[in-house]
Chains A and B, each alone.
Chain A
Amino acid sequence: MTIVVSIFILGGLFFFAIGVLGILRFPDFYSRLHAAGKSDSLAAVLVIAGVALYNLQDLSLDNLLVSLKIMLIAVFIYVASPTATHALTKTALILGFEPWEKGNKRR
């Protein structure tokens, strides 16, 4: 069980690290937001699943309820995070941020 939990959490941390790398290295607002949204949806859910499994080590009704609540956070993130990314991107487009093209300077 501990090995499975470790795989989940380490996998989540790996994707978070890649997301942070993308936020730091990508050239403009839209691609940075893309990296941030990806790490939000996959990595956060992996870490949350790992924590919920760790909580289930000795099975009882109380622990099952707590794990269910933890998984509800994942469902909430799945709904809320893409919406937030969508709102940010649309606002940036309306305010007139030009997307980056090859050969432009980094911003």
Chain B
Amino acid sequence: MKLLRERTEKQRLGESLIIQTSVRLMVPFVQLFGLYVIVHGHYSPGGGFQGGVILGSSFVMLALAFDQKSSLRLMSERANAILGNTGAIIFVGVGALCAICGGLFLDYSALDVLIPLGPVEWRSFGIFLVEVGVGLAVMSIMVSLFWDLGSAGKMDEGL
């Protein structure tokens, strides 16, 4: 038991090989499932928030199994902030565009003035647009919360 502890302390990068391999195997499928949940949000259970949490948790898994630096290499802090702000702008922009086109805030059927698809089609498509925005914003907030709390704001070593 003492030997195992020494070996773990000597090992520099994160957890054991088994965990790293299976995380490397699972992360692409987790991200694919997150996108599926976001895109299918208006037909089936799920939606922007849940899909964003799944997408963010894939990066949290990488940071837990390897270390924070390798997670930051795959998704830089700058790209993360840009994606999150883009999501918020998409959400508010779609809502404001509806108000500008003559409806209420987030009343998607008003967007029929811009591209005539019919109000029913626009209600379905507008929810999709808003959910993409929500998903991006939630993913960015999840990942940056974990990075900041896990390294006490220093962004170096992590847990």
User: Interface residues, chain A, CB within 8 Å of chain B?
Assistant: 76, 79-80, 83, 86-87, 90, 93-94, 96
User: Could you tell me if A90 and B1 are in contact, using CB atoms closer than 8 angstroms?
Assistant: no
User: Could you tell me if A94 and B29 are in contact, using CB atoms closer than 8 angstroms?
Assistant: no
If A76-B26, A94-B8 touch, does A86 touch B1 (CB 8 Å cutoff)? no
- Tell me, in angstroms, the Cα distance from A75 to B8 when the chains sit together: 30
- Tell me, in angstroms, the Cα distance from A84 to B16 when the chains sit together: 12
State whether the Cβ of B115 lies closer than 8 Å to any Cβ in chain A.
no
Contacts of A94 in B (CB 8 A): 4-5, 8
User: Interface residues, chain B, CB within 8 Å of chain A?
Assistant: 1, 4-5, 8, 15-16, 18-19, 22-23, 25-26, 29
Give the dominant DSSP class at B's interface.
Answer: helix
- Tell me, in angstroms, the Cα distance from A94 to B5 when the chains sit together: 6
- Tell me, in angstroms, the Cα distance from A2 to B18 when the chains sit together: 39
Contacts of A90 in B (CB 8 A): 4, 8, 16
